[in-house]
Amino acid sequence: MVVYIFVVLNVILLVTGQVLFKLGLDRIGALTLHNVMSVFLSPLIWTGLIIYVVATLLWFAALSRAQLNVIYPLQSLSYLLGLIMSIVILHETVSPIRWVGTLVILFGVVLVSWRG
């Protein structure tokens, strides 16, 4: 059971890191050779990187306790969470076909994770 907690926390942190990367890059603008150093000075991007380190440690903890083929499909939950966070935090618009595709992925996760 603790393995699944590690994986869920890992997914939440990975998506949170991506949102922080996006917020930081939105403040910088389109990345070019002229502003690439701004990435290294962005507190949002640094926070995202730190969160990624914590997420990776949680993933290591999960991997040390379970088979990869069991827990890796659960990483696909990041698609759903990423979609939700992009709407709620980034105020992005998501097309109906993207919702359908994400639900198909979620169905696939349930299918391969089923212990039947």
73-83 pLDDT, tens digit per residue, is 999 999 999 99
Q: pTM score, two decimals?
A: 0.90
pLDDT for residue 20: 98
Does the pLDDT value for residue 116 go beyond 60?
A: no
12-52 pLDDT, tens digit per residue, is 999 999 999 999 999 999 989 989 999 999 999 999 999 99
d(CA 25, CA 20): 8
Please state the domain extents for the chain.
2-113
| Residue 5, CB-side half-sphere exposure with 13 Å CA sphere | 2
